[in-house]
Amino acid sequence: MSVPHTISVKCSVCGKSSKQTILLSSNRFGAPDLDLRPPQMMRGTMRWWIQECPRCGYVAKSLDDKTNVTSKWLQSAEYRACNDIDFSSSLAKRFYRHYLISEKQRNVNDAFYAALHAAWACDDTGDTENAVRCRTLALNELEKMIASGPSNEDFLVLKADLLRRTGAFDALIEEYQNKAFSSDLLNRIIAFQIAKAKLGDTACYTVADVEE
Ligand SMILES: [Zn+2]
């Protein structure tokens, strides 16, 4: 069971306290998507993964998280209007704003997950165009993480899914066709991604689809 719990959190930017919902626990049923998106119940809890200050618009995993962004910057047109991207979901907007803040703070890891989660929120409202846009942003951040950190097979497998789902089929096939991973499952996921890329398929698949 997901157990939402309401607490009062003080915003580290403007000082206002607001009621926010946090999650005490959540179960997962079924297989994750190939971009590691968790199955239900966790999937249905996305709106509680991130908090938004009702006064100044600051967005953070917890509003008392310290930041170097100022309330003036949070009032900027780019931030308020999400760079004029016409998101169809308020949740996608909130994740996108977290992406903007994370970028501003040069926190590549948070920027990556914020963009990926914005893409998932777009998926849920059928906003295909902005889902691709957010996956492209996530891909940029992921490439920085891959370039700067130790070899991480999970990141490489995730990257293959982002390439396919943004329609970069040739790049996926070229980069992955001769790559071998340390586990059977990862090799099967990549073979699956290459097969789908060859068909020009951008759909969402789960790890269970690979096992079939
Ligand atoms: Zn605030």
Most confident of 37-51, 143-157, 189-203: 189-203
Residue 184's pLDDT is 93
Mean pLDDT of 6-32: 86
Q: Is the pLDDT at 1 greater than 70, yes or no?
A: no
Would you list the DSSP string of the chain? ---EEEEEEE-TTT--EEEEEEES---B-SPPBTT----TBGGGGGGGSSEE-TTT--EESSTTS--S--HHHHTSHHHHTGGG---S-HHHHHHHHHHHHHHHTT-HHHHHHHHHHHHHHHHHTT-HHHHHHHHHHHHHHHHHHHHHSS--HHHHHHHHHHHHHTT-HHHHHHHHTT---SSHHHHHHHHHHHHHHHTT-----BHHHHH-
Ligand 1 center–CA 11 separation, angstroms = 5
pLDDT value of position 163: 98
pLDDT-wise least confident of 20-24, 49-53, 143-147: 20-24
| Protein residues within 5 Å, CB atom, of ion ligand 1 | 11, 13-14, 53, 55-56, 58
pLDDT at 25: 67
Ligand 1 centre from 70 Cα, in Å? Answer: 10
Q: Exposed e or buried b for every residue in 166-189, given b needs 16+ CB within 10 A?
A: bbbbebbbebbeeeebeeeebeeb
Residue 45: per-residue pLDDT: 85
Query: Amino acid identity, residue 119?
Result: A
> Taking a C-beta distance cutoff of 8 angstroms, is the pair 69, 57 a contact?
no
Quote the ligand 1 centre to 102 CA distance (angstroms): 16
Supply the mean pLDDT for the chain: 92
**Would you place residue 181 in the very low, low, confident or very high pLDDT band (cuts 50, 70, 90)?**
very high
75 CA to centre of ligand 1 in angstroms:
11
166 closest CA partner among 147, 139, 193, 195: 139
CA 83 to ligand 1 center in whole angstroms: 20
* Residue 81 alpha carbon to ligand 1 centre in Å: 17
Distance, CA 50 to ligand 1 centroid (Å)? 14
Residue 144 pLDDT more than 90?
yes
pLDDT for 43 equals 74
Q: What is the pLDDT of residues 182-203, one digit of tens each?
A: 999 999 999 999 999 999 999 9
The model carries a pTM of: 0.92
**pLDDT at 29 > cutoff 70:** no
Taking the centre of ligand 1 as the mean of its atom positions, its distance from the CA of residue 4, in whole angstroms, is: 22
C-alpha 57 – ligand 1 centre gap (Å): 6
Q: How far, in Å, is the centroid of ligand 1 from the Cα of 209?
A: 43
